[in-house]
Amino acid sequence: MADADCTVCPELLTRLGAAAGGLLALAEFIESEQVEPTMPRRDLLPVLALRARNLAEQAQGRY
């Protein structure tokens, strides 16, 4: 392991890739809710906050 390249961490790249995919999915969800809502607008913000929190925790490696 002493010869391993420490400039790029595979685990970090995996977490960032997953978070980026989650952000794209979140953006798609927001756009679709603007075009054809599936829930009352008052319920939308808490759902978005939860999804954003989950993405942040995923990017930090908490799950």
pLDDT score of 63:
67
What pLDDT tens digit does each residue of the chain (63 aa) get? 455 666 778 888 888 888 899 999 999 999 999 999 999 999 999 999 999 999 988 888 876
Per-domain residue ranges of the chain: 10-59
User: CA-CA distances (angstroms) from residue 25 to 2, 4, 60?
Assistant: 38, 34, 18
CB contact at 8 A, 22 and 55: yes
Q: Measure the CA–CA gap between 41 and 2, rounded to whole angstroms.
A: 54
Q: Which ranges constitute the DSSP H helices of the chain? A: 10-35, 41-59
Look up residue 2 and give its DSSP letter.
Answer: T
Rounded Cα distance, 39 and 44, in Å? 7
